[in-house]
Amino acid sequence: MRAICIGLFLLLAFVACKEEYDHRGKTPLVGLKGNFLYVEDLQFVLPAGLSQKDSVMFAERYIQEWIENVLLYEKAERNIQKDGTIEALVENYRKSLIVHAYQQALVEQSLSEEVTEQELRDYYDRNQALFKVDSPLIKGLFIKVPLKAPDVNNVRRWYRNESNEAIENLEKYSLRNAVKYEYFYDKWIPVSEILNLMPLHVPDIDKYLEKNQHIELKDSAFYYFLNVSEYRLSGAQEPFEYAEKQIKNMLLNIKRINFMKQMKTDLYQQAIKNDEVKFY
């Protein structure tokens, strides 16, 4: 009976306001002093996978919050001091949004996202103080195998050897036996990424790396093998390959700033030239 009454109420409310308001094809669910919550709006925010009971509870809570927000806004609007402050803030925010959207579109249309290798190198060489290692970086190889894995002695021999033959043997072995295999002889990565995979806890990782490049550990279930082919300790110069992506983003940002600065200067000079600006 309650559901039927609610349904009749919503139907009557819909019929009553259908002629007065244009709902643009949406189905009104709740109306309050010219404001409407639509069925489609509720469906959009309704989380997927809820039971019927939870869906009803969510809908009731959402509807109540919507009504409360409408009433609070109306009360605030009636009682807020009408000195133009809010209107000025809204207008400034609107202008900022429009300008930002225009700048983004203009930059995307006019600026290439390409930065040459020489530009990257030159910036890196001129600003080396900006690119220092915060925490150690390494190149190398890591493999994790179960204690019961076969031919572990071969793994001990291969993981220290950086020859193509040894790496090929490890790769084949890892397909059948390894729990984790990471090859990174060709790129720098933070040492923390590998330490998170190993039961290694040392107070000073920089000092540890200086003395240990071939690391073998084990726990109750696995062997862990790490070969560090190269490393950069904290405070050292970041390798160009590691800093390259950051440098590209910095250069693109500089180009965007200079582009917009030049565009504003050109607009200003053109307006002055055309006598569009009146100084009083």
* Residue 34 pLDDT: 87
> CA–CA distance from 181 to each of 65, 110, 171, 203 (Å)?
52, 44, 8, 26
Segment 201-246, tens digit of pLDDT: 999 999 999 999 999 999 999 999 999 999 999 999 999 999 999 9
Q: What is the mean pLDDT of the chain?
A: 89
Q: Which two tokens stand for residue 174?
A: 């890892």
- Could you tell me the pLDDT band of residue 1, with boundaries at 50, 70 and 90? very low
Of 147, 141, 127, residue with least CA distance to 246: 127
Of 113, 106, 102, 107, residue with least CA distance to 251: 113
Other CB atoms within a 10 A radius of the CB of residue 50 amount to 13
| pTM recorded for the entire structure | 0.65
Q: Which two tokens stand for residue 155?
A: 């793994």
Segment 169-186, tens digit of pLDDT: 999 999 999 999 999 999
How far apart are alpha carbons 54 and 50 in whole angstroms?
Answer: 6
* Residue 9 pLDDT: 47
* Residue 10 pLDDT: 52
- Could you tell me the pLDDT band of residue 4, with boundaries at 50, 70 and 90? very low
